[in-house]
A = this chain, B = another copy of it.
Amino acid sequence: MSTFYNRIAGESVERLAALSDGIFAVAMTLLVLDLHGPAKEAIGSEQDLYRALVALWPQLLTYMKSFLTLAIFWNGQQAQLNRFARTNRHLTWIQMLFLCAVSIMPFSTRLLAEFIGYRIALICYWANLLFLGAVLYIAWRYARRTGLITQDTSHEIACAIERRIVFGQVLYATGACLCIWNTYWSIAFIVVTQINFAIAPRIPWLSRF
């Protein structure tokens, strides 16, 4: 029987990491193109400019929120890739699904920013978060099952990575459910969750996950 292409394709973790870093970098900086300063004609005094910049504040916040979300998932993916001894074509394609969801994130965040009071916009945004988490989880389970992770990754570390994804998704889903009352509650809950992941305060209960 001959050597099949599928057995030899997609073996380089380094290039997968390089492609991922590139896609994250572009996705993280693309949104700044949407940040347009006020039109020159509309501004006549320092006060006009001040007011125009204050009006730009929500857009800036959206930008930072999108950056924060992508940074969280960059860290999440990195925690995995660092522990892949090698990859195979299936794992590479699971990561491709992840990268596809990453590149759509700017669109979801922008949709939510523009239609901040609409439940459907929030559900779309949450669906993107859910998809990112689900694919990360599947990638890790697959890598563990097929022995693609490094030898020094203990059972405890492997479980910690899984637990973190599940814990994050439970919080995001809880946030999404709050939109039954109000989308602002949802967004606030999700943002607080994300800031917690970024800062990782030394709260015993929280840092156990």
- A-to-B contact residues, CB < 8 Å: 2-6, 8-12, 15, 17-19, 21-30, 32-33, 35, 37, 40, 43, 46, 49-50, 53, 60, 63-64, 67, 71, 74-76, 78-79, 81-82, 89-90, 92-93, 96, 99-100, 103-104, 106-107, 110-111, 114-115, 118-121, 124, 154, 156-157, 159-161, 163-164, 198-200, 207-209
**CB pair B114 A96 closer than 8 Å:** no
Given A78-B12, A119-B46, the answer on whether A207 and B4 have CB atoms closer than 8 Å is yes
Apart from A12-B78, A67-B96, A96-B198: 10 A-B pairs, beta carbons within 8 A: A3-B156, A5-B161, A22-B24, A22-B26, A26-B26, A32-B103, A32-B107, A49-B121, A53-B120, A60-B104
Q: How far is the CA of A207 from the CA of B89 in the complex (A)?
A: 13
**CB pair B46 A120 closer than 8 Å:** yes
**CB pair A154 B3 closer than 8 Å:** yes
Q: How far is the CA of A78 from the CA of B25 in the complex (A)?
A: 17
Could you say which residues of chain B place their CB within 8 Å of the CB of A19? 21, 24-25, 74
Could you say which residues of chain B place their CB within 8 Å of the CB of A4? 160, 207-209
Chain B residue, CB-CB nearest to A110: B37
Copies in the complex: 4
Q: Which of A71, A156, A199 has the most CB of B within 10 A?
A: A71
Could you say which residues of chain B place their CB within 8 Å of the CB of A89? 75, 200
Could you say which residues of chain B place their CB within 8 Å of the CB of A78? 9-10, 12, 15
Q: What are 13 inter-chain pairs, A to B, with CB distance below 8 A?
A: A2-B156, A2-B160, A3-B160, A4-B208, A5-B209, A9-B76, A19-B74, A23-B29, A25-B26, A37-B115, A40-B115, A63-B104, A93-B199
**CB pair A26 B24 closer than 8 Å:** no
**CB pair B209 A37 closer than 8 Å:** no
Return the contact of A32 from the options B11, B81, B106 (Cβ within 8 A): B106
Could you say which residues of chain B place their CB within 8 Å of the CB of A32? 27, 30, 103-104, 106-107
Could you say which residues of chain B place their CB within 8 Å of the CB of A43? 115, 118
